[in-house]
């Protein structure tokens, strides 16, 4: 049965030592998800659209204007 846990402070020397130790254990599979699954799926979809030519893009100036209007930035 897999067990998951989260470690917040990876800058603490004790945490670093712990992580290095558990990497040496043969029954531990060290897996680090840098992005959530839903976000990876969106990125994969966007890449597929880019590759097959169905992606649409907006000009940066247009996007900038929309964001400035949305967030009332001048």
Question: CA nearest 57: which of 71, 66, 68, 46?
Answer: 46
State the pTM of this model. Answer: 0.44
In the chain, the percentage of residues whose pLDDT exceeds 70 is: 97
Task: Give the span between the Cα atoms of 12 and 4, in whole angstroms.
Answer: 20
What's the pLDDT tens digit per position in 36-52?
Answer: 889 989 999 999 999 99
Provide the residue ranges of all domains of the chain, joining segments of one domain with +. 13-70
Q: What is the mean pLDDT of each run of 10 residues along the chain (74 residues)?
A: 80 89 87 80 95 96 95 89
């Amino acid at each position: 049965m897999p067990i998951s846990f989260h470690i917040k402070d990876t800058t603490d020397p004790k945490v670093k030592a712990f992580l290095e130790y558990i990497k040496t254990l043969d029954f531990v599979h060290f897996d680090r998800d840098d992005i959530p699954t839903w976000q990876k799926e969106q990125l994969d979809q966007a890449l597929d659209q880019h590759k097959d030519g169905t992606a649409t893009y907006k000009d940066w100036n247009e996007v900038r204007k929309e964001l400035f209007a949305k967030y009332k930035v001048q």
